[in-house]
């Protein structure tokens, strides 16, 4: 079946009043889910499961996929307005988004986030339609050594994420790696660094670390500096609340790169949106002519994070639909829904149940458009929240953050961890350590370790396995390049200016 025909089928399925309504409901629920940290799409699908199973498979998929798209956008709102990463993938959005908000550009930041999500989403769906079979093969060929090299490349982005001092960046990353080892070791099952606490047996979840480091750290610092009347300025006039043409023009190259990176990373099982957003931010910064603007409110920073994030959503659907191998926890839940309906995602889903595949594609299209239509007019209203006096705003931030963290495990212990990381975040800010480096290492640490140990078992202890396999070798070269990116960039920029 050719693509145009398939897409027509999909649109025909989705364009019934009820289904369009479900796309809307899904998008709204998703936005709410995105706003609360901790409550991720995985948990939400699990909660909604009984409702969803009462529908037909296609309508269920339509609603859930729309929810996915909504969650991606919702996370950006709290990231920009409160420095509170609502979804793990929006950690990167905080870096420049919040800085833009402080400069009175919260509106343009959210506008850009919406448009970037839209672009990343739409373009990656096209890639999904055209490349699904090819990409699925790629996912299968991706073994532990390749996975190691890719995640190592992600880890070497520390040099790009760090601020002025490289040493501080590495120190923060090392802390992150140490924290990543806490919990039970997946190979032997033995416990590491848990200090006898049961709560630490399943490791330190990065959501509480992220909320502590970013949101609480910021609050503590602001409180120390004296209560300001409000967080940021809210400029008058619609023109100042939406991104300018110049912003958009500036972002176009970033969008193209980030969408491709996001999609490819999304396809690879086990990586997902968080890795995609970090990678594309690193690449955007290293290829920028003015890398020093990143971290101080660069529009490309927000664009890179959000477009990669959304592109990875469609990417992750590819191995799930074509092979029955979920690319991320979120898509795994979609697979559960399909399995509960008695459908088997795998090589025969597309030929035997084309309505599912094309229904998903079409509903993602419509959900993305709908989200853009819902969200752009909402921005001027949402931005007004910045007028809230800061002494009330920070209570709201703490409440939202705490509920989010508590909702993961319903454990008070997690709130203590969040608090401790709040203090650490405050010290980081004071001493100018980059919290993003710690988070990057905490998220990637377990992945790197796992892939490394799997590879070493396979190769009987030989490191050559990482070089012998071509894909892995290429990623390793990229890893080295990423490690030295800031210097290379300085050299080339200096040369170009001369």
Partner 1 sequence: MMKKLRWVNFSLRYITVVSLFMVGASFFTFDALSAEYPSRPVEIVTHSAPGGPNNLIAHLIAEVVQKEKILPQPVFVTLKPGSGMAAAFSYLFEKKGEDHLWAVTSNGLILGTPLRVKLPYTYRNFTPIANICVDGSVMIVSAKSPYKTMDDVLAAAKKSPNKLAQGGSSITSNEAMMGKVMQKIKGVQWKFVSFAGEMEAATNVMGGNIDFAFLNPSSVLEHVRAGNLRVVLAASTKRYKAFPDVPTVQEAGLGKPQISYRALMGPPEMPQHAVKTLETAAKKIVESAQFKKYMDQSMMQEEFMDAKKLAAFWEEDEKLVKQQMIDGGMLNKDGSIKQK
Using CB under 8 A, list all residues that contact partner 1: 32, 36, 39, 42-43, 46-47, 49-50, 53, 139-144, 183-191, 196, 198-199, 201-203, 269-270, 319, 323-326, 329, 332-333, 335-336, 339-340, 342, 344, 346-348, 388-389, 392, 395-396, 399-400, 403, 407, 409-411, 450, 454, 457-458, 460
Contacts of 352 (CB under 8 A, 6+ apart): none
What is the smallest separation between the CB atom of 22 and partner 1, expressed in angstroms? 18
Nearer to partner 1, 295 or 446 (CB): 446
Nearer to partner 1, 396 or 488 (CB): 396
What is the smallest separation between the CB atom of 348 and partner 1, expressed in angstroms? 6
What is the smallest separation between the CB atom of 45 and partner 1, expressed in angstroms? 8
Q: How far apart are CA 416 and CA 494, in angstroms?
A: 47
Q: 3, 1, 11, 5: which is closest to 360 by C-alpha?
A: 11
Q: Interior CA angle at 16 toward 14 and 17, to 5°?
A: 120
Cα 291 to chain centroid, rounded = 21
Nearer to partner 1, 1 or 201 (CB): 201
Backbone angles phi, psi at 193, to 5 degrees: 50, 35
The token duo for 355 is 């309505």
Q: How far apart are CA 182 and CA 171, in angstroms?
A: 18
Nearer to partner 1, 111 or 203 (CB): 203
Alpha-carbon radius of gyration of the chain = 22
What is the smallest separation between the CB atom of 138 and partner 1, expressed in angstroms? 10
What is the smallest separation between the CB atom of 375 and partner 1, expressed in angstroms? 19
Distances in whole angstroms, Cα of residue 92 to Cα of each of 86, 174, 295, 309: 11, 19, 10, 10
Nearer to partner 1, 290 or 462 (CB): 462
Nearer to partner 1, 173 or 335 (CB): 335
The token duo for 344 is 């088997």
The token duo for 93 is 């959005």
Nearer to partner 1, 49 or 102 (CB): 49
Answer for the pair 354, 8: CB distance below 8 angstroms, yes or no.
Answer: no
Q: 257, 355, 272, 367: which is closest to 313 by C-alpha?
A: 272
What is the smallest separation between the CB atom of 60 and partner 1, expressed in angstroms? 13
What is the smallest separation between the CB atom of 406 and partner 1, expressed in angstroms? 9
């Amino acid at each position: 079946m050719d693509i145009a025909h398939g897409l027509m089928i999909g649109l025909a399925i989705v364009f019934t009043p009820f289904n369009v309504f479900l796309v809307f409901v899904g998008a709204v629920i998703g936005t709410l889910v995105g706003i609360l940290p901790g409550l991720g799409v995985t948990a939400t699908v699990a909660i909604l499961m009984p409702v969803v199973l009462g529908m037909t498979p296609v309508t269920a998929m339509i609603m859930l996929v729309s929810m996915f798209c909504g969650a991606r956008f919702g996370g950006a709102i709290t990231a920009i307005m409160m420095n509170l990463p609502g979804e793990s993938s929006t950690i990167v959005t905080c870096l420049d988004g919040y800085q833009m908000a402080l400069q009175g550009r919260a509106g343009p930041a959210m506008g850009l986030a919406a448009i970037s999500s839209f672009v990343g989403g739409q373009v990656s769906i096209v890639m999904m339609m055209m490349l699904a079979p090819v990409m699925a093969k790629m996912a299968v060929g991706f073994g532990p050594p390749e996975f190691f090299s890719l995640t190592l490349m992600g880890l070497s982005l520390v040099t790009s994420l760090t601020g002025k001092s490289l040493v501080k960046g590495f120190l923060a990353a090392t802390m992150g790696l140490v924290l990543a080892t806490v919990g039970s070791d997946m190979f032997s099952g033995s416990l590491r660094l848990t200090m006898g606490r049961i709560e630490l047996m399943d490791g330190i979840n990065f959501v509480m670390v992220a909320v502590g480091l970013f949101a609480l750290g910021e609050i503590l610092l602001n409180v120390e500096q004296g209560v300001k009347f409000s967080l940021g300025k809210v400029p008058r006039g619609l023109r100042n609340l939406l991104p300018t043409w110049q912003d958009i023009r500036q972002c176009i190259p970033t969008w193209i790169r980030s969408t491709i990176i996001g999609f490819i990373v999304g396809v690879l099982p086990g990586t997902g949106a968080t890795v995609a957003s970090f990678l594309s931010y690193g690449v955007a910064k290293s290829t920028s002519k003015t890398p020093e603007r990143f971290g101080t409110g660069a529009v490309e920073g927000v664009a890179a994070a959000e477009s990669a994030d959304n592109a990875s959503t469609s990417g992750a659907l590819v191995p799930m639909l074509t092979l029955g191998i979920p690319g991320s926890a979120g898509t795994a839940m979609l697979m559960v829904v399909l399995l509960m309906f008695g459908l088997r995602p795998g090589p025969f889903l597309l030929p035997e149940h084309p309505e599912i595949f094309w229904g998903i594609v079409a509903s993602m299209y419509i959900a993305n458009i709908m989200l853009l239509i819902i969200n752009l007019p909402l921005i001027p209203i949402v931005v007004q929240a910045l007028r809230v006096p800061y002494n009330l705003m920070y209570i709201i931030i703490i409440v939202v953050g705490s509920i989010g963290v508590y909702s993961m495990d319903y454990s008070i212990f997690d709130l203590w961890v969040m608090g401790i990381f709040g203090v650490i975040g405050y010290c980081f800010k004071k001493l100018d350590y980059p919290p993003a480096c710690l988070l990057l290492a905490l998220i990637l640490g377990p992945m790197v370790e796992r892939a490394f140990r799997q590879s070493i078992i396979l190769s009987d202890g030989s490191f050559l396995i990482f070089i012998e396999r071509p894909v892995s070798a290429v990623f390793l070269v990229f890893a080295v390049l990423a490690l030295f990116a800031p210097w290379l960039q300085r050299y080339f920029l200096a040369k170009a200016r001369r």
